[in-house]
Amino acid sequence: MNATEYEPVIGLEIHVQLKTRTKMFCGCELSFGEEPNVHTCPVCLGLPGTLPVLNARAVHFGLMIGLALGCEIAGRSQFHRKNYFYPDLPKGYQISQYDVPLCTGGHLGDVRIHRVHLEEDAAKLVHASASGRIHGAERSAVDFNRGGTPLVEIVTEPDVHSAEEARDWLGLLRSTLRVLGVSDVNMDEGSLRCDANVSVRPAGSSGLGTKTELKNMNSFRFLAQGINAEVERQVGLLRAGEQVVQETLHFDPRSGLLTALRSKEEAHDYRYFPEPDLVPLVATPEMVEAARAALPELPAARAQRFERELGLPADRAHELAFRTELADYFEQALAADGSDLDPIALANWIPPLIERIGSDTDPAQSLVSPASLAGLVKLVSARQVSTTAARDVLTRLVAEGGDPAAIVEQEGLGAISDADGGLAEIVAAALAADPDAADKVRAGNMKAIGPLVGYVMRETKGRADGGEVTRLIREQLGLG
Amino acid sequence: MSDEIVELTASQAAAAVHAGELDPGELFETYRARAAADTLNAYLWVSDRTPAGPPAGEPAATSSPLGGVPLAVKDLFCTEGVPSQAGSRILEGYRPPYSATVVRRLAQAGAPLLGKTNQDEFAMGSSNENSGFGPVRNPWDETRVPGGSSGGSAAAVAAGLAPWAIGTDTGGSVRQPAALCGIVGLKPTYGACSRFGMIAFASSLDQAGPLTRDVTDAALLLRHMVGRDPRDSTSLEFPEPIELPTREDLRGIRLGVPDELVGEGGGVQDGVRRSFEQTLELARGLGATVEPCRLPHAPHALSAYYLIAPAEASANLARFDGVRYGLRVDSGADLVSMYSRTRAAGFGPEVKRRIMLGTYALSSGYYDAYYGTALRVRTKIAEDFRTAFQSFDFVVTPTSPWTAFELGAKLEDPLAMYLNDFCTVPMPLAGIPAISIPSGLSEGLPVGFQLAGPAFSENRLLAAAYALERAIGFDSSPARRRDPGGSTP
Ligand SMILES: [Zn+2]
């Protein structure tokens, strides 16, 4: 009998730092790596007697996110106090939304959204200890610059079923938030943070297993790595007849391992109650309309447009649209040419570009301008340069920038065509050099054409167009 | 001259300054000297210099409507660079970098800071015996309490150590000490005065209020306290200017007497009840009608209050953790032990009691039964008042069921102490304004008469209180009572 197959069930909790000018409840400007404790005031330091005042811009951003995710907007939502003692929490409570969040329901792609709510970020702790954690630290310091930064928390339904799906979906969410312009959504810098609730169940069943909460997976790679490790651990436990214990696990990027947080840290009763210092948040129809009007085209809609209007295959359309910087670059290149550049041909040149500049780099930051990529693609389409040679030109462009036509000219990479006379002679030489292959092709075995084309390419240093070479071989062998 | 100055009410002193008959520097110095010689423990800090006068050129009445009449401020109001300790050892010596909005507004209007007054720690108490800096004594009888929690402010005004003062009222903390010290105390509508800079006890209840020798002074001070503050989201623009009261009768005014508060259940002392009945007679004489009214849920107000206020306090006081300011007791062991040692050493027993009560009331599994029920009772009480105000202009009660009691008399019995607030707690739960005025003496000790009105009815409340005050003719000076041959006006 086969061992039971297990299916992961994953829900994500995402914290997004909003890119407002000032903090959630005070007038301090947000911080970008300044000296510690310079963006502080009596309010965000939690000095006695101070009161929070809600940042209207953060509410606007929260509404934009809710609308972009297709959520229902609460006409009246409420802030609560979440009580616990920790040095990064100057008031001894975090102001957050609890039972009446700003937005509920909705979906992004195939994943349903449970809720979206507003809250404030904690300050940053720096521990002088080997582990970087508070236990056993000789000294700990608090930097309140980050304290009070506006956060939106997005909680999904448990609709994700693999680590890869989680990673891809988070990528889609990141692009969506990026086009909204509401956050830097940078996982390294913590402006995008993702926790995962992971459980497994026998494949095909509909129940939910005991879940664990995974924290601190601060990159897309770690997210996938952490979920995979946890799924494997849970399946291992169940196969061994053991039980999964509900707990919070901390991902250690250095070891790639998950360790349980000490239960003392977790034994929280947050004693939520309505924040008496703030009146309920009323989202007026005007506020909702203003947020709706501020929505740009979202990645999912953009992918559809690429498919429908530009004829891109679905995969390529998603690949571009779900990374806003790629889609922006693509559309700029398309517009730069001005003439009838084939969008599909252009789109096919984005992956080779990404391969050369590194998958995490925004092509707009590279030396290859959208116009020069468009120029290169146009040279290829006009058969003025072969695909193989164009790849070399692209490598040059990535390294040094410049104009593709000029590089082709300088390096003598222009396509050798029949018209020049030269190509037909090289083909004839190839047939003469490998009569065996020539015979096989003539007899109808087209697989044998490879060595002949290879010969021509070697001789021309890749400047010949593959299609043209094939045509000439067939012609000279009398295959018409 | 100094005695004559002290005889003036704050409004009279301001008028004298405006008329050029009184030098504001001399006025300040007179009170500064008296405050510095305080023997009641009413002050925790007294200013050591006379503030600069108002800018020259403008008429004093416009540039300084409060005429430079110095102000005593309850310790829990933050005052920039000046100790603001909320009566607690955990904040001993704490000097905030900013001033409370109300203090700032009053200073701008010409009421400079004279000193900081003693109070029950974090405003938790009805006798001032819970101060981390020792109890305040009642100027009418120094063996007795001044009431609380704004006991220092009340005692300072009653003893002539300040022309006027501000305090805060959460469950009666302005009105009850005003009653026990024979002065006027007003708790405004919730939201009328900014709470920014008031070290919070119970955020949904706390309001700043004036403690003054008479109703006119209360109106004048309140005029410059109210108004929306962008730094307090719960503050509101007062819908009309605060008027100085002039009304001399109560014709057409309907007073409701709630049996639930004034009847046998309230435990009102005989002398207090007599004074209350006499005041009702005077009100009838001025043209008012007096009828029983119903506040069916009012007897539950105290229970609801002692869940809601401690629950909010348990969160409000979490920031006193030794990390950033105030007391820190660091054993060097770990974070949790620093927290618990700091808080064990810094908070007094009543504060600890209420933090534990509030923490318990909010705990998972108990929230609905305690905090949730208390919120529902609170809603019912507000509805009771709304119904009552359909038939009555004001609800009236004795402010406190008792006159000032002896120091230590109720310390061992917190529940008996809490009963002090029986008549004053329902109003803050409903967010409505109420004023206490002295109605006479019982066995030589002042008795307070309380009027409560609908939200933002302060002008009408002050007008009615003024008419009654004239009819009662109470002399608010304990010194003169004790020594009738002394300094007469
Ligand atoms: Zn701040």
Q: What is the rounded average pLDDT of the residues B230-245?
A: 98
Q: How confident is the model at residue B481 (pLDDT cuts 50, 70, 90)?
A: low
* Interface contacts (A, B; CB < 8 Å): 106
Helices (H) and strands (E) in chain B, counts: 18, 11
Farthest CA pair distance, chain B: 70
CB B92 within 8 A of CB B85: yes
Q: Does B359 touch chain A (CB under 8 A)?
A: yes
What is the least distance, in Å, from the CA of B335 to any CA of chain A?
9
Report the distance separating Cα B298 and Cα B258, nearest Å. 9
CA of A25 to the centre of ligand 1 (A): 7
Rounded-to-10 torsion of CA A302, A307, A309, A311: 150
CB A243 within 8 A of CB A225: no
Chain A contact probe: residue of B76, B116, B231, B367 with most A CBs at under 10 A: B231
Does the pLDDT value for residue B480 go beyond 80?
no
Does the pLDDT value for residue B489 go beyond 80?
no
Q: Does B376 touch chain A (CB under 8 A)?
A: no
Q: How confident is the model at residue A426 (pLDDT cuts 50, 70, 90)?
A: confident
The pLDDT, as a whole number, for residue B487 is: 42
Chain A contact probe: residue of B323, B337, B338, B366 with most A CBs at under 10 A: B323
Tokens matching residue A350: 């984005």
CA of B66 to the centre of ligand 1 (A): 33
Query: Tokens 């409000």 belong to which residue?
Result: B316
CA of B398 to the centre of ligand 1 (A): 44
The backbone region for B473, taken as left when phi is positive above 0, alpha when psi lies in -120 to 50, beta otherwise, is left
Q: What is the rounded average pLDDT of the residues A250-271?
A: 77
Q: Identify any residues that bridge with B290 across adjacent strands, giving them in sequence order.
A: B255
Does the pLDDT value for residue B488 go beyond 50?
no
Report the distance separating Cα A308 and Cα A315, nearest Å. 13
Q: How confident is the model at residue A417 (pLDDT cuts 50, 70, 90)?
A: low
The residue count for chain A = 480
What is the least distance, in Å, from the CA of B199 to any CA of chain A?
4
The backbone region for A147, taken as left when phi is positive above 0, alpha when psi lies in -120 to 50, beta otherwise, is beta
Report yes or no on whether pTM surpasses 0.95: no
CA of A59 to the centre of ligand 1 (A): 18
What is the least distance, in Å, from the CA of B328 to any CA of chain A?
13
Within 181-240 of B, beta carbons closer than 8 Å to A belong to 195-200, 202-204, 230-234
Rounded-to-10 torsion of CA A197, A201, A205, A210: -60
By Cβ distance, the residue of B204, B318, B363 closest to A93 is B318
Percent of chain B with pLDDT over 70: 97
Query: Of B64, B74, B187, B275, which residue is the catalytic one?
Result: B74
Residue pLDDT, tens place only, B16-36? 999 999 999 999 999 999 999
By Cβ distance, the residue of B97, B319, B371 closest to A91 is B319
Query: Which range is least confidently modeled, A334-348, B61-75, B279-293?
Result: A334-348
Q: Does B313 touch chain A (CB under 8 A)?
A: no
Does the pLDDT value for residue A65 go beyond 60?
yes
Query: Tokens 């948040």 belong to which residue?
Result: A281
For helices A466-476 and A449-460, the axis angle rounded to 10 degrees is 120
Tokens matching residue B449: 């008469």
Q: What are phi and psi of A152, to 5 degrees?
A: -115, 130
Chain B contact probe: residue of A24, A28, A271 with most B CBs at under 10 A: A271
By Cβ distance, the residue of A134, A142, A277 closest to B234 is A277
Q: How confident is the model at residue B484 (pLDDT cuts 50, 70, 90)?
A: very low
CA of A123 to the centre of ligand 1 (A): 11
Residues of chain B positioned with their CB less than 8 A from the CB of A27: none
Contact B324 A83 (CB under 8 A): no
Top mean pLDDT of A238-247, A430-439, B88-97 is at: B88-97
Contact A271 B232 (CB under 8 A): no
Positive or negative torsion for Cα A326, A331, A332, A334: positive
CA of A294 to the centre of ligand 1 (A): 27
Q: Is B149 a catalytic residue?
A: yes
CA of A27 to the centre of ligand 1 (A): 6
The pLDDT, as a whole number, for residue A323 is: 87
Q: How confident is the model at residue B477 (pLDDT cuts 50, 70, 90)?
A: confident
Sequence-ordered list of residues with C-beta below 8 angstroms from that of B159, at least 6 positions apart, any chain: B38, B40, B42, B139, B478, B479
Average model confidence (pLDDT) across chain B: 94
Sequence-ordered list of residues with C-beta below 8 angstroms from that of B219, at least 6 positions apart, any chain: B242, B243, B244, B245, B462, B466
Average model confidence (pLDDT) across chain A: 90
CA of A320 to the centre of ligand 1 (A): 40
Residues of chain B positioned with their CB less than 8 A from the CB of A42: 96-98
Greater model confidence, B359 or A477: B359
Q: Does A81 touch chain B (CB under 8 A)?
A: yes
CA of B24 to the centre of ligand 1 (A): 38
Fold classified for B2-253+391-486: Amidase signature (AS) enzymes (3.90.1300)
Query: Of B88, B99, B127, B149, which residue is the catalytic one?
Result: B149
Sequence-ordered list of residues with C-beta below 8 angstroms from that of A199, at least 6 positions apart, any chain: A8, A9, A158, A208, A209, A210, A211, A212, A234, A244
The pLDDT, as a whole number, for residue B64 is: 92
Q: Is B436 a catalytic residue?
A: no
By Cβ distance, the residue of A45, A269, A276 closest to B364 is A269
The pLDDT, as a whole number, for residue A272 is: 96
Residues of chain B positioned with their CB less than 8 A from the CB of A93: 315, 318
Query: Tokens 């500064």 belong to which residue?
Result: B32
Instruction: Kindly report the number of other CB atoms within 10 A of residue A444's CB atom.
Output: 8
Domain borders along chain B are 2-253+391-486, 299-375
Contact B315 A92 (CB under 8 A): yes
Q: Does A52 touch chain B (CB under 8 A)?
A: yes
Q: Does A91 touch chain B (CB under 8 A)?
A: yes
Residues of chain B positioned with their CB less than 8 A from the CB of A142: 323
Q: Does A85 touch chain B (CB under 8 A)?
A: yes
Tokens matching residue B291: 């009828």
Residues of chain B positioned with their CB less than 8 A from the CB of A122: none
Does the pLDDT value for residue A70 go beyond 60?
yes
Sequence-ordered list of residues with C-beta below 8 angstroms from that of B387, at least 6 positions apart, any chain: B294
Sequence-ordered list of residues with C-beta below 8 angstroms from that of B110, at least 6 positions apart, any chain: B14, B54, B63, B64, B65, B66, B67, B68, B69
Percent of chain B with pLDDT over 90: 88
Greater model confidence, A2 or B349: B349
What DSSP designation does A328 have? Answer: H
Does the pLDDT value for residue A134 go beyond 60?
yes
Farthest CA pair distance, chain A: 95
Q: Is B173 a catalytic residue?
A: yes
CA of A23 to the centre of ligand 1 (A): 7
What is the least distance, in Å, from the CA of B358 to any CA of chain A?
10
Contact A53 B363 (CB under 8 A): no
Report the distance separating Cα B417 and Cα A173, nearest Å. 58
Q: How confident is the model at residue B372 (pLDDT cuts 50, 70, 90)?
A: very high
Q: Identify any residues that bridge with A250 across adjacent strands, giving them in sequence order.
A: A215, A259
What DSSP designation does A43 have? Answer: T
Which value, in Å, is the radius of gyration of the alpha carbons in chain A? Answer: 29
Residues of chain A positioned with their CB less than 8 A from the CB of B199: 48-49
Q: Does B331 touch chain A (CB under 8 A)?
A: no
Residue burial B332-365, b: 16+ Cβ < 10 Å; e: rest? eeebeebbebbbeebbbebbeebbebbbbbbeee
Nearest CA in chain B to A264: B336
The pLDDT, as a whole number, for residue A256 is: 79
Percent of chain A with pLDDT over 70: 95
Q: How confident is the model at residue B145 (pLDDT cuts 50, 70, 90)?
A: very high
Positive or negative torsion for Cα A232, A235, A241, A247: positive
The pLDDT, as a whole number, for residue A381 is: 85
A464-467: long-range contacts, CB 8 A cutoff, minimum separation 24: A464/A386, A464/A415, A464/A416, A464/A423, A464/A426, A465/A383, A465/A386, A465/A387, A465/A415, A465/A417, A466/A386, A466/A387, A466/A388
Does the pLDDT value for residue B136 go beyond 60?
yes
Report the distance separating Cα B286 and Cα B470, nearest Å. 10
**Smallest Cα–Cα separation from B382: which of B374, A251, B151?**
B374
Q: How confident is the model at residue A252 (pLDDT cuts 50, 70, 90)?
A: confident
What is the CATH class of A422-476?
A: mainly alpha
B303: cis peptide before it, omega within 30°? no
Residues of chain A positioned with their CB less than 8 A from the CB of B314: 83, 271
Greater model confidence, B384 or A258: B384
Nearest CA in chain A to B231: A53
Residue pLDDT, tens place only, A6-55? 999 999 999 999 999 999 999 999 988 889 999 999 999 999 999 999 99
Query: Of B11, B173, B400, B439, which residue is the catalytic one?
Result: B173
